[in-house]
Chains A and B, each alone.
Chain A
């Protein structure tokens, strides 16, 4: 071992000096060159990853917003259709009610008119009867003024009126 050390001039002091020399170079290289570079690279990688993550999130949010918008539009469509349907139904119902009401009203009017007419007719008939009776009496009294007594007059009047009924 000593022979090898002698041949290659291996000395522990030189070994130590060279180790220290390497450690110094390694420290300087790492501290002032590679560490800042690695830091920058790490920051850049983090930024890129964050950016990608954000983009992915934004994409997801956009998709979610789109889905929400579609859902809202669908809901609105459904609601509007329902409202329209309800409106139509209620309009139809109202229409039917109004028609029914009008029909009832008209029937009422017709009924009342008919009653009025019947009453008027009866009144007219009564008046006509009365007038006709009077006319018959007058006519009969004129024609039969001398040949008939009051009893015969009345019989004749009733007979004549019986023809009109």
Chain B
């Protein structure tokens, strides 16, 4: 029997056309835990809040303050935080879920190969890519909501810069011959930048979490008792930091897109 950590999530079973991987099972389990958590926790509107509510309040206040330091305005923070906070918690909980005992070690044998039943969802590129694509989608959705479809698409696919050259030349604005093609290419570079943002976000998180799991597995294979504890602690910290990085970068992208559109609006006026 072979037991090795793969860089991809193994298929556990099929559900119609969809192959259910162990990372997907982890994500579903986490979804159930979240549902259980929100149904257990009672949020009091009046009176002294319970410990969990107190912690949630503290987290919310800290998150808003942190978001303010990135966006520079409470209005923007309040607009983006409904996406950023759950994103942070989804990644954090998935990162930590992968460190729990039994995750990656309980499974079944298939074709002389051990298949774990659960795998940290963020140790699967499918999950991290899905998260970064969702973040990108939300970012561009915010851009469209703030600036409108035309203005937002023009930022990346600036065909209007090329198309407006003859009109500007009639007005004897000869500089457009040089400036507008540059603007068009800058837009294309921005477009490529958006794709690279997605790749960098997803690969960073995936790489760090997978590396942590491999590191822990290697340390455990050397000596399973006490030795992995410092590494486990480090992975708890890494999980937190990676979740924070992902969430903060997503917030930065949202903030940048809202600011660039605001600037464009001001320039237009």
By the criterion CB–CB under 8 Å, are B126 and A34 in contact? no
The total number of A-B Cβ pairs within 8 Å is 115
- Please tell me if B131 contacts chain A, counting CB pairs below 8 Å: yes
**Chain B residues in 8 Å Cβ range of A8:** 7-8, 125-126
By the criterion CB–CB under 8 Å, are B57 and A40 in contact? yes
- Please tell me if A119 contacts chain B, counting CB pairs below 8 Å: no
The CA-CA distance from A16 to B134 in the complex, in Å, is: 10
Partner of A26, one of B8, B53, B87, B121: B87
**Chain B residues in 8 Å Cβ range of A10:** 125-126, 129
| Smallest CB separation, A104 vs chain B (Å) | 89
By the criterion CB–CB under 8 Å, are A29 and B34 in contact? yes
Closest to A43 in B: B45
By the criterion CB–CB under 8 Å, are A41 and B24 in contact? no
- Please tell me if B85 contacts chain A, counting CB pairs below 8 Å: yes
Q: Which of B7, B35, B85 has the most CB of A within 10 A?
A: B85
B65-107 residues at the A interface, CB under 8 angstroms: 81-83, 85-87, 89-90
- Please tell me if B38 contacts chain A, counting CB pairs below 8 Å: yes
- Please tell me if B19 contacts chain A, counting CB pairs below 8 Å: yes
The 0/1 profile, CB within 8 Å of B marked 1, for residues 1-39 of chain A is: 000000111110111111101111111111011111110
Q: A10-B129, A30-B86 are in contact. Are A21 and B38 (CB under 8 A)?
A: no
By the criterion CB–CB under 8 Å, are B56 and A37 in contact? yes
The CA-CA distance from A40 to B83 in the complex, in Å, is: 19
Chain B interface, number of residues (Cβ within 8 angstroms):
45
Q: A15-B129, A35-B82, A38-B60 are in contact. Are A25 and B90 (CB under 8 A)?
A: yes
The CA-CA distance from A23 to B17 in the complex, in Å, is: 21
**Chain B residues in 8 Å Cβ range of A26:** 83, 86-87, 90
| Smallest CB separation, B37 vs chain A (Å) | 8
| Smallest CB separation, A89 vs chain B (Å) | 68
By the criterion CB–CB under 8 Å, are A22 and B125 in contact? no
Partner of B28, one of A16, A21, A23, A32: A21
**Chain A residues in 8 Å Cβ range of B60:** 34, 37-38, 41
By the criterion CB–CB under 8 Å, are B30 and A25 in contact? yes
Q: A14-B19, A37-B57 are in contact. Are A28 and B35 (CB under 8 A)?
A: yes
By the criterion CB–CB under 8 Å, are B19 and A19 in contact? no
The 0/1 profile, CB within 8 Å of A marked 1, for residues 181-224 of chain B is: 00000000000000000000000000000000000000000000
**Chain A residues in 8 Å Cβ range of B121:** 18
The CA-CA distance from A17 to B81 in the complex, in Å, is: 23
**Chain A residues in 8 Å Cβ range of B229:** none
A53-102 residues at the B interface, CB under 8 angstroms: none
- Please tell me if B43 contacts chain A, counting CB pairs below 8 Å: yes
Partner of A34, one of B23, B24, B56, B90: B56
The 0/1 profile, CB within 8 Å of A marked 1, for residues 32-61 of chain B is: 001101110101010000000100110011
Interface residues of A (CB under 8 A from B): 7-11, 13-19, 21-30, 32-38, 40-41, 43
10 nearest CB pairs, A to B: A26-B86, A9-B8, A32-B38, A18-B130, A8-B125, A19-B130, A29-B86, A14-B126, A36-B43, A18-B127
User: Would you mind naming 13 contact pairs between A and B with Cβ atoms under 8 Å apart?
Assistant: A10-B129, A14-B9, A15-B129, A18-B130, A21-B28, A25-B31, A25-B90, A26-B90, A28-B38, A34-B60, A37-B57, A38-B64, A43-B45
Given A25-B86, A41-B60, 9 more pairs with CB closer than 8 A: A9-B8, A10-B126, A15-B126, A15-B130, A18-B27, A21-B27, A27-B86, A33-B38, A33-B41
